[in-house]
């Protein structure tokens, strides 16, 4: 199965769920779906196309919405499932039932982008410290960190 | 006169001073040899080729901050290192180093002293267990439990192996056993299996690779010694060093025909023979990886104990043939 | 798979008579290769103050201060305490005014000692340079 | 039997970097394991958004000290794809050469660490001594031992001359001999085999479901290697074999890595013998049109993936890095269940953990909170060790 056939087959199987699909480069497919179709899409991609391996989940803050990208891979292609969600009420369903290895990445975007992953099996904080002030999501574009001024010991100013 | 002699015996030779100096030397020898086997330099800067490094380490630890865990039993926690050191130093006194005349037993040489030495060498293990248990640290407790579990593995083979030369020599006195093998050195050839069993068991007693399970640093941090610091740790380290000297001295006495020939020749023989045993210990340390506690117990009962029993059988047969 | 007890011992004993692989470091030193990336140094007579190094330095370790616009006098400070020795400045420099020497033992007790300052005049046709470092 | 929880880390002799494993044990048997990250965060992803593409090369290089080249290559490949650059062949080959030398050094390092965790210090010393050979080669090629900084957008920064080529071949010949010796030793020394065989079982289905990567995945019998699946640089031109093992344990992971070492030697020799002539780099633009790219790379520890999004300026909109170690944590937790306490360091080391690789998100200094609370040892004990769990270790036999 080559890339073009794969794209055609995905179009056929997923049908109306696809918002956009394109293959900009060799072995790279980008697929956009709606958040409510995410779990179904993942299930179909895993069972019919062998996308067992979730490389990672990236989150991008575009200031108008959050883009969540699921980077899946099989031996033919690397497929990125893109989900765009509302910035005011960021919620996505968990895909841990489909791909159990997604748990750490979901916890990571939960911590860093403040996205609520619904029904996540383990909602604890993963990377932020225990005393982190709630509501600070470092990877959001409107979260800015001002590094403290550098002080060199013994420097005369 | 007897009092002075006894004091010299206790404090200078072969008592505390000698054992301290010699055990630090042995530690240096062990470390240097281990390093050279691994293609490293080893201790290099303190003294000539780092010979004073163990002393420097000891002194450094003596001046370090000494912390006692809040929940630990202070008295027991603090007294255990000293007790352990005292026990091994006492055991060192029974090595037949100053027995110029075997037929005249001195006050520290008597029938059954081999049993006393073996018994005294078992006690440090218990001290280590108590030290681990009283540290109230999970890692220490685990280490303490491992110490005791290991004790049941190696102790029986060690006793059987060390006692079988005594059976052939028909004596329970170290000086007499050594003297017997001086006269009949070829009989030692029948004790080779026992020698190796004893060396491996001693390796386990000293908690060195492959039996460094109770203080395996990558698993349970410092094991028994996790909470020990400063002076107490220094004493524990010295205790292990002295134990190594006494243990190899014991093996040298019963398997390598002792240290006859008066004070100076005897001392030379003692040094050469113990260093030989320590060299074997270092070689084992370098050639193996650490095994698990369950594997250690299986190894002891599957291989060491049967070999020790075999050695015992050989000894009994040899004795029968001689008589 | 066959197990051989004490398989390692011949190798160990062989090494007993070999020279150690380690060296006594502060007394003996190993040689570094010719194009080793050590500490960045400025040949101030070549600098044309294009500020490419300042722009590309990932650690913001290079600063160029204008001392006097008319005399074309500049001061470059290389903060060796920030420098990550990537040599991107050497790469970016169009006139090859920067190069890396082979010094690697640059540890000191104060970050202030790690600053290298160069005061120089931008060469026009003939230029005089002064340098303190 | 009562269960107790022991902390392995954030400071523990078995861990070279800070991570916290909370291990629940029953006697000497591990019942449950949990992992807590966040001790080594540096905010690299956030930082990358405020730096230019060129500066970011050196920033991503500092994600990891051992596989520094893997992160830069992954990043640089992505950026090159974003601006549509065609890297000259010679540049790609030198890039691959450093990749493979880095793999050799990383695997040798790992072999030493695994031996050390098993208490086999002699093997540790020997492998690390021989690793110096490949470190010296890397120093000759790139000018530094750890951060090679050989990649730049559009190619590599340094060329290779004949003397260097000869030295590389010489070093590889020596390493080949040594590696064969270690393979023999590692699989015949009974105490070492006893420690690694049958330890840390990760069945194939579990490995796939938990998205394990790299040698951990391959040791469970899954043939997956980005160099074969998704050839980057010029890996599709180079003959090499994919190494797998089906024992699913630590021994399998040792075998996979040793086999990979031997394959890497072959690749290096092939690269040196077939090094094309020509340029080593092309000029790269500073600003990049809006686009997005996923770049994958087979680091010594497994799949490394970078997602880069550009926005028309000279700085990336988003740079997402996922280092292989993070992907292997769920599998590690699975492996740790029902093992012995003594096996924890070995199992954890078997994924070749690089904690600073896996943690790169966020800076932890809270600017507002200047005062830190100082707790006495007694208070810490009271807080974390409740008195009832003080002396309840159970007899292991």
Confidence of residue D363 (pLDDT cuts 50, 70, 90): very low
Chains touching chain D through at least 3 C-beta pairs below 8 angstroms are A, B, C
pLDDT for B102: 67
Summarised one tens digit per residue, pLDDT across range B133-168 is 888 888 888 888 888 888 888 888 998 888 888 888
Whole-prediction pTM value?
0.87
List the structure tokens of A24. Answer: 């900009």
The answer to whether the CB of D354 falls within 8 A of the CB of D323 is yes
Chain A residues touching residue C112 (CB < 8 angstroms): 152, 154-155
What residues have CB less than 8 Å from A15, skipping those under 6 apart?
none
Summarised one tens digit per residue, pLDDT across range D132-177 is 999 989 888 888 888 888 888 888 888 888 888 898 999 999 999 8
- CA-nearest of D60, D126, D73 to D101 is D73
User: From B296, which residue of chain D is nearest by alpha-carbon distance?
Assistant: D191
A24 touches chain C (CB under 8 A): no
Percent share of chain B, pLDDT over 70: 97
> Which CATH code of 1.10.645.10, 3.30.930.10, 3.40.50.1360, 2.60.290.11 fits the domain covering D44-357?
1.10.645.10
On the question of pLDDT at A64 being above 80, the answer is yes
User: From A156, which residue of chain C is nearest by alpha-carbon distance?
Assistant: C112
Q: What are phi and psi of A54, to 5 degrees?
A: -95, 115
d(CA A55, CA D211): 7
pLDDT for B28: 92
Chain D contact probe: residue of A24, A55, A78, A105 with most D CBs at under 10 A:
A55
pLDDT for D371: 33
pLDDT for D378: 47
B319 touches chain D (CB under 8 A): no
Q: Looking at the 3D structure of chain C, how many domains does it have? A: 1
What residues have CB less than 8 Å from A101, skipping those under 6 apart?
A54, D209, D210, D211, D212, D327, D330, D331
Rg (CA), chain B: 20
On average, the pLDDT of chain D sits at 81
Summarised one tens digit per residue, pLDDT across range B189-240 is 888 888 889 999 998 988 888 888 888 888 888 888 888 888 889 998 899 9
Whether A100 sits inside 8 A of D294 (CB atoms) is no
Instruction: Tell me the nearest-neighbour CA distance from C67 into chain A, angstroms.
Output: 18
CATH 1.10.645.10 placement within chain D: 44-357
pLDDT for B279: 92
d(CA D82, CA D291): 6
d(CA B307, CA B291): 20
Q: Looking at the 3D structure of chain B, how many domains does it have? A: 1
CB burial of D6-24 (b: ≥16 within 10 Å; e: otherwise) equals: bebbbebbbbebbbbbebe
Whether C21 sits inside 8 A of D189 (CB atoms) is no
Chain A contact probe: residue of D37, D40, D211 with most A CBs at under 10 A:
D211
* B44 closest CB neighbour out of C9, C15, C24: C24
pLDDT (mean) for C26-50: 85
Which has more pLDDT, A138 or B307?
B307
Instruction: Tell me the nearest-neighbour CA distance from C4 into chain B, angstroms.
Output: 12
The reply to whether C42 falls in a domain is yes
Chains touching chain C through at least 3 C-beta pairs below 8 angstroms are A, B, D
Confidence of residue D364 (pLDDT cuts 50, 70, 90): very low
Containing structural domain, residue C85 = 32-121
d(CA D135, CA D133): 5
D130 touches chain B (CB under 8 A): no
Identify the weakest region by mean pLDDT among A118-127, B106-115, D314-323, D388-397: D388-397
Q: What are phi and psi of D99, to 5 degrees?
A: -55, -50
| Structural domains of chain A sorted by starting position, each given as residue range(s) with its CATH number in brackets | 3-118 (3.30.460.80)
On the question of pLDDT at A40 being above 80, the answer is yes
Whether D385 sits inside 8 A of B149 (CB atoms) is no
Strands of the sheet containing C73-79, edge to edge, are C62-68, C73-79, C115-121
Following DSSP, what letter does each residue of A122-147 receive, concatenated?
--S--SS-TTPPTT--TTSTT----P
The reply to whether C98 falls in a domain is yes
d(CA C75, CA C77): 6
- CA-nearest of D93, D99, D60 to D76 is D60
D329 touches chain A (CB under 8 A): yes
Summarised one tens digit per residue, pLDDT across range B54-69 is 999 999 999 988 888 8
- Total count of residues recorded for chain C: 133
ω before A106 within 30° of 0 (cis)?
Answer: no
On the question of pLDDT at D265 being above 70, the answer is yes
In 3-state terms, what secondary structure has residue B323?
Answer: coil
Q: Which residue has the tokens 């255990």?
A: B80
Confidence of residue C124 (pLDDT cuts 50, 70, 90): low
Percent share of chain B, pLDDT over 90: 8
How would you classify the pairing of strands C115-121 and C73-79? antiparallel
The answer to whether the CB of C46 falls within 8 A of the CB of C86 is no
d(CA B146, CA B132): 10
d(CA D379, CA D386): 11
On average, the pLDDT of chain C sits at 82
Whether D116 sits inside 8 A of B287 (CB atoms) is no
The answer to whether the CB of D30 falls within 8 A of the CB of D344 is yes
How would you classify the pairing of strands A116-118 and A91-93? parallel
Chain A residues touching residue C108 (CB < 8 angstroms): none
User: From C79, which residue of chain A is nearest by alpha-carbon distance?
Assistant: A152
Whether C81 sits inside 8 A of A154 (CB atoms) is no
C1 touches chain A (CB under 8 A): no
The reply to whether C83 falls in a domain is yes
Chain B residues touching residue C21 (CB < 8 angstroms): 39-40
Containing structural domain, residue B173 = 65-322
On the question of pLDDT at D21 being above 70, the answer is yes
Whether B70 sits inside 8 A of D125 (CB atoms) is no
pLDDT for D392: 36
Helix orientation angle between B230-255 and B138-169, rounded to the nearest 10 degrees: 20
> According to DSSP H, which parts of chain B are helical?
2-7, 16-37, 53-62, 74-93, 113-134, 138-169, 174-183, 192-205, 217-220, 230-255, 262-287, 293-299, 305-322
Q: What residues of D are in the C interface, CB distance below 8 Å?
A: 51-52, 54-59, 61-62, 122-123, 126, 129, 132, 139-140, 143-144, 147, 149, 152, 157-158, 181, 184-185, 187-190, 193
pLDDT for D362: 34
């Amino acid at each position: 199965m080559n890339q073009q056939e794969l794209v055609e087959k995905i179009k056929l199987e997923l049908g109306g769920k696809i918002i956009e699909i394109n293959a900009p480069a060799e072995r790279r497919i980008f697929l956009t779906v709606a958040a409510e179709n995410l779990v179904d899409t993942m299930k179909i991609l895993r069972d019919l196309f062998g996308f067992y391996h979730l490389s990672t989940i990236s989150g991008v803050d575009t200031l108008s919405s959050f883009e969540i990208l699921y980077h899946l891979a099989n031996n033919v292609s690397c497929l990125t499932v893109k989900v765009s969600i509302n910035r005011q009420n960021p919620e996505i369903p968990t895909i841990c039932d489909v791909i159990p290895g997604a748990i750490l990445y979901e916890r990571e975007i939960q911590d860093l982008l403040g996205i609520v992953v619904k029904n996540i099996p383990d909602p604890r904080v993963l990377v932020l410290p225990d005393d982190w002030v709630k509501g600070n999501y470092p990877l959001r574009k409107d979260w800015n960190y001002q590094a403290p001024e550098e002080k060199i010991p013994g420097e005369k100013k | 006169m007897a009092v002075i002699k006894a004091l010299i015996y206790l404090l200078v030779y072969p008592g505390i001073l000698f054992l301290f100096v010699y055990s630090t030397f042995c530690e240096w020898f062990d470390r240097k040899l281990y390093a050279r086997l691994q293609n490293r330099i080893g201790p290099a800067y303190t003294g000539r080729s780092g010979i004073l490094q163990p002393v420097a380490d000891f002194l450094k630890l003596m001046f370090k901050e000494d912390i006692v865990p809040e929940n630990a039993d202070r008295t027991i926690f603090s007294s255990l290192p000293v007790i352990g050191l005292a026990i091994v130093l006492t055991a060192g006194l029974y090595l037949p180093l100053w027995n110029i005349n075997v037929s005249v037993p001195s006050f520290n040489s008597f029938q059954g002293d081999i049993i006393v030495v073996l018994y005294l060498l078992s006690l440090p293990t218990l001290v280590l267990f108590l030290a681990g248990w009283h540290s109230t640290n999970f890692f220490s407790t685990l280490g303490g439990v491992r110490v005791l579990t290991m004790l049941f593995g190696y102790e029986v083979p060690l006793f059987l192996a060390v006692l079988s030369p005594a059976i052939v020599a028909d004596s329970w006195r170290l000086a007499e056993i050594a003297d017997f093998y001086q006269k009949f050195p070829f009989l030692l050839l029948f004790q080779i299996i026992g020698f190796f069993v004893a060396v491996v068991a001693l390796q386990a007693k000293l908690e060195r690779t492959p039996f460094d399970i109770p203080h395996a640093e990558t698993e349970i941090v410092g094991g028994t010694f996790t909470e020990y610091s400063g002076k107490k740790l220094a004493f524990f380290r010295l205790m292990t060093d002295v134990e190594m000297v006494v243990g190899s001295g014991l093996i040298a006495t019963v398997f390598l025909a002792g240290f006859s020939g008066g004070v100076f020749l005897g001392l030379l023989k003692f040094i050469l023979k113990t260093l030989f045993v320590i060299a074997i210990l270092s070689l084992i340390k370098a050639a193996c990886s650490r095994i698990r506690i369950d594997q250690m117990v299986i190894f002891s009962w599957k291989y060491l104990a049967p070999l020790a029993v075999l050695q015992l059988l050989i000894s009994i047969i040899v004795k029968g043939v001689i008589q | 798979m066959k197990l051989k007890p004490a398989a390692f011992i011949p190798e160990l004993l062989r090494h007993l008579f070999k020279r150690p692989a380690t060296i006594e470091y502060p007394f003996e030193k190993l040689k570094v290769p010719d194009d080793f990336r050590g500490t960045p140094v400025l040949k101030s007579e070549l600098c044309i103050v294009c500020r490419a190094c300042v722009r590309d330095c990932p650690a913001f370790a290079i600063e160029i201060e204008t001392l006097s616009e008319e005399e074309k006098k500049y001061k470059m400070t290389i903060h060796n305490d920030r420098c990550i020795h990537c040599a991107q400045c050497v790469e970016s420099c169009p006139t090859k005014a920067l190069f890396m020497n082979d010094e690697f033992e640059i540890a000191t007790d104060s970050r202030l000692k790690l600053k290298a300052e160069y005061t120089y005049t931008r060469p026009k046709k003939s230029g005089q340079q002064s340098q303190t470092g | 039997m009562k269960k107790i929880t022991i902390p392995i880390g954030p400071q523990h002799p078995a861990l070279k970097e800070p991570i916290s494993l909370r291990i629940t044990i029953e006697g000497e048997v591990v019942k449950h394991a949990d992992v807590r990250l966040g001790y080594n965060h540096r905010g690299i992803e956030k930082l990358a958004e405020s730096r230019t593409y060129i500066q970011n090369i050196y920033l991503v290089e500092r994600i990891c000290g051992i596989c520094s080249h893997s992160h830069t290559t992954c990043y640089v490949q992505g950026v090159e794809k974003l601006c549509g650059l065609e890297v000259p062949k010679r540049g790609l080959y030198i890039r691959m050469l450093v990749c493979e030398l880095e793999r050799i050094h990383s695997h040798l390092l790992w072999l030493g660490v695994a031996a050390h965790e098993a208490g086999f210090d002699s093997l540790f010393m020997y492998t690390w001594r021989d690793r110096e050979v490949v470190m010296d080669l890397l120093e000759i090629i790139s000018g530094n031992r750890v951060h090679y900084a050989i990649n730049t957008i559009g190619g590599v920064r340094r060329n290779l001359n004949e003397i260097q080529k000869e030295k590389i071949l010489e070093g590889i010949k020596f390493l080949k001999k040594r590696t064969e010796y270690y393979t023999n030793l590692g699989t015949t020394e009974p105490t070492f085999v006893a420690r690694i065989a049958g330890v840390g079982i990760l069945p194939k289905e579990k490995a796939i479901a938990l998205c394990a990567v790299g040698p951990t995945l391959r040791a469970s019998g899954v043939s997956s290697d980005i160099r074969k699946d998704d050839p980057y640089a010029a890996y599709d031109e180079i003959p090499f074999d994919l190494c797998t093992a089906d024992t699913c344990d630590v021994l399998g992971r040792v075998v996979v890595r040793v086999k990979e070492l031997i394959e890497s030697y072959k690749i290096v020799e092939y690269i040196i013998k077939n090094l094309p002539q020509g340029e080593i780099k092309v000029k790269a633009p500073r600003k990049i049109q809006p686009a997005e790219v996923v770049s994958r790379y087979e680091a010594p520890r497994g799949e490394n993936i970078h997602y880069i999004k550009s926005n028309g300026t000279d700085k990336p909109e988003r740079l997402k890095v996922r280092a292989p170690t993070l992907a292997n944590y769920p599998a590690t937790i699975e492996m740790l269940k029902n093992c012995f306490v003594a096996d924890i360091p070995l199992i954890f080391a078997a994924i070749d953990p690089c904690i600073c690789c896996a943690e790169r998100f966020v800076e932890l200094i809270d600017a507002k909170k200047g005062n830190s609370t100082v707790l006495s040892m007694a208070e810490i004990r009271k807080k974390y060790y409740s008195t009832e769990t003080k002396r309840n270790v159970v007899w292991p036999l």
